[in-house]
Structure 1
Amino acid sequence: MSGETKDQELARKGRVVALVIAGSVLIWMALNVIGKAAGLPGRFALLFDLAALAALIWALVNIYQIWRARQADEG
């Protein structure tokens, strides 16, 4: 794979990670507000929290992979 193609792939992966982070936080906040307004039990709030946490952990793993790939390209 050429260097430019690899850079484009890493940039695309970075954009996906950014969208996942922003989207998961926005959806999490919206679900918490809707859940509270609808009077849902606390276990649903926990479910929303765990889903957001899973998305953020996925994003963190991908950020680490991007960082490692960029470090390998430099060295």
Structure 2
Amino acid sequence: MTRPSDDDAARLARQGRITALVIAGTMILWIAANWIGAALGLPGRFAILFDLAALGALVWAFVNIYDMWRKRRNQTGD
């Protein structure tokens, strides 16, 4: 079992922070967009647009999480 280098660990940590920010930001923007859309009386198609944009960001985040898991697993030799 080998330990990851400091550079690899820093890259994984940075990737994890970015992914966490994308998830948190997506949820905040999604809630705000739905609230503003309802307050302005926008049609339902805009709510679907907000939902699809949020799903796209979350799919990107989950792909990143899987990539980080794979890199971490390869580094530790499991």
**2: distance between equivalents of 1:4 and 1:56?**
28
Equivalence for 2:27: 25
Report the equivalent of 1:50: 52
Query: 1:47 Cα shift?
Result: 0.1
User: What are the residue-to-residue correspondences of 1:8-19 with 2, within 5 Å?
Assistant: 8-19=10-21
Question: Any gaps of 5 or more consecutive residues in structure 1?
Answer: none
Runs (4 or more) in structure 1 with deviation over 4 Å come to none
Structure with a larger share of its residues in helix: 1
Q: TM-score under structure 1 normalisation?
A: 0.97
RCO comparison, higher one (Cα < 8 Å, 6+): 2
- Shift, 1:36, TM fit: 0.2
Match of 2:37 in 1: 35
Identity of aligned residues (%): 58
For 2:72, the equivalent position in structure 1 comes to: 70
5+ unaligned residues in a row in structure 2: which ranges? none
Letter aligned with residue 46 of structure 1: I
